[in-house]
Amino acid sequence: MSNGASEFSEQTTAAIGRARRHALGDLLHRTAIRHPDKTAVVDGDVRWTFAEFDAAVNRCAAALAGAGLVKGDRLALLSHNCHQFGVLVFATARLGVVLVPVNFMLNAEEIAFILDHSGARAFVVEDALLATGEKALAQSAEPATVLARIGLSGPPVTGDWVDLDSWIGGDGDPGERDVHVADDDPLRLMYTSGTESRPKGVMLPSRSLITQYVSCVVDGGMEHDDVELHSLPMYHCAQLDCFFSVDVYLGATSIILPAPAPAEILATIAREKVTKLFCPPTVWIALLRHPDFDTTDLSSLRKGYYGAAAMPVEILQELTRRLPDVRLWNFYGQTETSPLATLLRPEQQLSHAGSAGRASLNMETRVVDENDEQVPPGEVGEIVHRGPHVTLGYYRNEEKTAEAFRGGWFHSGDLGVMTAEGHLSVVDRKKDMIKTGGENVASREVEEALYLLEGVAEVAVFGVSHPHWIEAVTAVVVPKDGVTLTREQVDAHAREKLAGYKRPKYVVFAGSLPKNPSGKILKRELRTEHGDIAAREG
């Protein structure tokens, strides 16, 4: 027997490839054929069927192509949640253009780095973020030339900016775009803080994303008749790729909110009869504490998901008590696993409280020692994964990619313990990552920013337990001899250098930092010493 398509002519092989294609850009189109009249997206006054959503994506793809974008180009997107965000996810995928979602809490300098590192040819910015976007362009070494604005609240478009809605509702060819996108062609470039002072670009292709969608569907109990509320940022792979894109794949209905405001979430669940909701622990806590919680009709809600940080056991117990008809899942992973890696199922929530569960359908997870050998059950080691969810690597970073993939496994950088039955518990972060309010903060990045403040001799940044943020960024600062620093000075400096969620919530001044004989700062001691600072300072 021959070795497959190699026996055919080039023309026949190409035709077979087109007939067999299954890329991210195809998913919405196929759903629109199955469920043309079903509600796909609700965003304020916008209520699109899948047929209307598909047509809008085709028009936008035609406009992007008309602007000169081709397969492999990068389009950076700076926006809060909106239906236009969803259009760009699938319009770029149909052209093979790489979407670069940008965290809207970053400052202009941080955004400029992403624009330059990704080599973005196009930049789409929500009007409320336009001032920051223009500052980022001004600082960019090679600024993007295709510029579009998402008009949600601001004044009419001026200057070089095009109104994105003119692309979505324009006269461009709404037909199918005949662009061949292979399984491992990058379609998403997600920037993650990691543990470095500069973020790394995680490359995700259709194969990683779609196999992750399948794992979410099967292991997460997701169905075509779900009505899901999306309020967490869609620039984050969790909301975008564990939930929104999966809903599009299945034909479920997506209700989009610009932000996770508790009052609006509760009101929307009641109004739209929402059945499914994802929130990090901080938002679940805010919902439970809201005065409208007990008076709002939440009877439609059937499925709840959490992740991004550990759920306090007492909150988990309260959720199961106050929402007894809601089945809960814990999703654990990271951007590099698209992002789902392991999950804890509803029937295990209380019996395995605090666990990240077992490996998802298309993944394999183990815990290894410093020699990358699997450790026995109950021993601490680094969490590693392999499977099709895993990233293609870090864009323009061979060194970090080789380090992360040594031995043929992706090294997460998290420390964990595995039981004999395969249940994983995440016990620490290998390189001092802080997870605050569902966001990753690299302690080294914050430290480097604070070191730029004149008068700082040494600084150590770490996370402490916090009742709302789960972890709060905390800095211990050692002033130079003869220098007096104030909290106000540190705050003002951090405001200039860092995005809001990265700035220290607590600042402590000290005469020295604890160190081991080799000079390494002992952050574990600092966490112990200042672990109750939230209770002391509020």
Share of the chain above pLDDT 90, in %: 75
Q: What's the CA gap between 285 and 429, in Å, rounded?
A: 23
CATH 3.40.50.980 fits 22-33+49-181, yes or no: yes
156-170, 293-307, 315-329, 494-508, range with the lowest pLDDT: 156-170
93 with 67: CB under 8 angstroms?
no
Which residues does 255 contact at the CB level (< 8 Å), separation at least 6? 42, 43, 227, 228, 229, 230, 268, 272, 274
22-33+49-181 and 210-429 in the same fold: yes
Question: What are the residue ranges spanned by the domains of the chain?
Answer: 22-33+49-181, 210-429, 433-537
- Predicted confidence at residue 195, as pLDDT, reads 40
Question: Max alpha carbon distance in the chain (Å)?
Answer: 82
Q: What's the CA gap between 201 and 189, in Å, rounded?
A: 6
Average pLDDT across the chain, whole number: 92
Q: pLDDT tens digit string along 410-445? A: 999 888 899 999 999 887 666 667 888 888 787 777
Q: What's the CA gap between 62 and 58, in Å, rounded?
A: 6
105 with 500: CB under 8 angstroms?
yes
426 with 383: CB under 8 angstroms?
yes
The architecture of the domain spanning 210-429 is 3-Layer(aba) Sandwich (3.40)
- Residue 194's pLDDT band (cuts 50, 70, 90): very low
Average pLDDT of the residues in 449-458 = 88
433-537 to CATH, choices 3.30.1330.120, 3.40.50.10860, 3.30.300.30, 3.40.470.10: 3.30.300.30
Label the pairing between strands 227-230 and 253-256: parallel
Q: pLDDT tens digit string along 60-75? A: 999 999 999 999 999 9
Q: Is the pLDDT at 258 greater than 70, yes or no?
A: yes
For 452, counting Cβ atoms within 10 Å of its Cβ (0-12 exposed, 13-18 middle, 19+ buried), the class is exposed
Query: How much is the pTM?
Result: 0.84
Q: Is the pLDDT at 186 greater than 80, yes or no?
A: yes
175 to 54, 55, 96, 319, 485: CA distances (angstroms):
10, 8, 16, 47, 63
